[in-house]
Amino acid sequence: MEPQDDTGALLRQARPDATPREAPLDLDSILRGGYRARRRHRALIGGAATAGVAAVAAVLAFSVGVFGLGDAPERRQEFPPGDPLGFDPAQAGYPGPAPDVWDERQPALDEALRSAFGDLAVDGGFLDADALDYERPADEEVQDRMDEGMGYYAALAELGYRDLPLQFGPWSSEATEAQVHLLGYVAGAGDGAPAVFEINALAPGGWTAEPGPTGTEAFPRHLISDEPSWTGEAPEFSTEELDDGRTLMVADHGCALDAAVVYPNGSALRSSWDLGCPDGAARELSVADLTEAMLAMPQIEYDTSALAPVGDVLDVPDGWPWDEGWEAEAAGDAAATFDAATNALGEHHPGIELLSSGPSQRGDEGGQVVHAFSGTYRLPYEDEEDIPVTAAVTYFLPGGWLPGLAPEGSGGAPYLVACGHSDKDDTCEEMEVAGRTVVTRTFGVGDSHSYGVLLYDPAGWAVELTSAYAGHVEGATFDDLVETVLSLPAPVYDPAAYAQD
């Protein structure tokens, strides 16, 4: 029997020493923060109630227009243009996903979705008849969860009100190597159900109404394609400019329908419906019904204050496709790398001990990743609380990242280090040492400090050392750590295999 076979016992044995270290508790600050939160809470509940009534009223009137009294919905709705941006929104994006805060529009938007697409989805066999029998939790329940530290959509998820059929959730998509994001909402058949349709509302920015391939590679993104996609044949594609300023596009692929509406405020709505392309299912939807539903949806107002031009798109070396076997393949190089690194570190810190090392892929499974060799060390020092000082050393092989410090306010990627991106009060510096770029990041809490030093070699690799300890440690000061990193040897890898044009 291997030790890991009794994982529960092993886990209990691995419990770290959690004797709390002395740390100041700033109760005055906590009380001030609590009072601020109470004021925000009162303002929020008042505002949400007012906005909620108005929004529901608007949606109700709009629903009557769609399904009841015969007036064309577009005559009942207004589509005001957005404020001028001063730049081309197609070549722009948002710095990151929208914050998970109370979304006043969400209940009304869900109502609009259900009104416009509910019958169509059920009648066409995309949803079961009872799929839309769910109720939104009360605002008070949502707010209670948010008081416990959750965001708005996290609170809805906790209450079982997320990823339901025809329910909008926040959507974001990274573009230009994660320099910018596209934002909006997305709805589908619900968590666990076959993805037979998707409805995606897009905020202005990062996309073009010009038809083209709808993948995530191009920038700006295309809303809808007039080229073969669902099948080997091009769809029957139509574009219509409406009197109210909207543009409607429909692509009929025979076994699937795609549609998009571009609104005068620069936002858009698109949807895709699989009538049975891959599985031969007999789901039904006519172009006329889809058109009516798309045009029944309201124009959504978005906050575009953070929308900014992309500028010159950074030339980021391609990352590597995630590969299940890469770690095993690279284990030898990683071991040789840390043999050499340990020797070099021993010159500065005699007695240093390598605790673990190995290759790792940084990124999402199935996506583009960065290749790294990671190791952890115990340095031959103890800090002022008699705790051994440890350090992590990470080698980044070429591809998928850029050297230097991320621009202020950016989301970090494709850079390896960013300042001010977390809630820590960190300080970063970038310097040149003997023709090589060094970036440092430090932050502290009380007497404890955290240091990160990143060295970028012109050959295309980088190495990072991070450490944290309390008080002053002779031999492991900030300057010592910088000097240590400068002495680290190159990683062992095949430069030819990592070369890029």
Partner 1 sequence: MKSKEQQEAEFRSFALAQRDALRRQAYLLSGDWFEADDIVQKALTKAFAVWRRIDPVGAPAYVRRIVVNMYLSHRRLAWVRRERASDDVSPSRSEHPQEGVDLRLEVVAALDRLPPRQRATLVLRYWEDLSVEDTAEIMGCSAGTVKSQCAKGLGKMREILADAAAPVRA
- Residue 82 burial (10 A CB sphere; 0-12, 13-18, 19+): middle
Residue 355 tokens read as: 């605790």
Which one, 27 or 288, has the nearer CB to partner 1?
27
Give the count of beta carbons closer than 10 Å to the beta carbon of residue 383.
Answer: 20
DSSP labels, 397-421: -SSS-EEEEPPTTS--TTEEE-SSS
In degrees, rounded to 5, the angle at the alpha carbon of residue 291 between the alpha carbons of residues 282 and 184 is 95
Q: How far is the CB of 96 from partner 1 (least distance, A)?
A: 8
- Would you call the peptide bond into 278 cis, given omega within 30 degrees of 0 as the criterion? no
Q: How far is the CB of 480 from partner 1 (least distance, A)?
A: 15
Which one, 247 or 466, has the nearer CB to partner 1?
466
In degrees, rounded to 5, the angle at the alpha carbon of residue 106 between the alpha carbons of residues 136 and 172 is 125
Q: How far is the CB of 16 from partner 1 (least distance, A)?
A: 6
- Specify the DSSP class assigned to residue 318: P
Q: How far is the CB of 265 from partner 1 (least distance, A)?
A: 29
Q: How far is the CB of 43 from partner 1 (least distance, A)?
A: 13
Which one, 437 or 450, has the nearer CB to partner 1?
450
Contact 79, 266 (CB under 8 A): no
Q: How far is the CB of 34 from partner 1 (least distance, A)?
A: 3
Identify the sign of the CA torsion 163, 166, 167, 168.
positive
Taking the mean position of all CA atoms in its chain, how far away is CA 175?
Answer: 11
Residue with tokens 């809805």: 156
Q: How far is the CB of 144 from partner 1 (least distance, A)?
A: 8
Which one, 348 or 378, has the nearer CB to partner 1?
378
Which one, 160 or 278, has the nearer CB to partner 1?
160
Residue closest to 439 by CA, chosen among 421, 427, 450: 427
Which one, 242 or 335, has the nearer CB to partner 1?
335
Furthest-apart CA pair in the chain: how many Å?
Answer: 85
Which one, 7 or 500, has the nearer CB to partner 1?
7
- Distances in Å between the Cα of 484 and the Cα atoms of 80, 359, 372, 396, 454 are 60, 21, 19, 17, 11
Which one, 58 or 392, has the nearer CB to partner 1?
392
Identify the sign of the CA torsion 138, 144, 147, 148.
negative
Which one, 356 or 477, has the nearer CB to partner 1?
356
Q: How far is the CB of 218 from partner 1 (least distance, A)?
A: 24
494 contacts: CB under 8 Å, gap ≥ 6: none
Beta bridge partners of 439: 430, 454
DSSP β-ladder status, 180-188 and 256-262 = unpaired
Which one, 4 or 500, has the nearer CB to partner 1?
4
Q: How far is the CB of 66 from partner 1 (least distance, A)?
A: 37
Which one, 273 or 401, has the nearer CB to partner 1?
401
Q: How far is the CB of 314 from partner 1 (least distance, A)?
A: 18
**Helices 478-486, 326-348: inter-axial angle, 10-degree rounding:** 120
- Rg over alpha carbons for the chain, rounded to the nearest Å, is 27
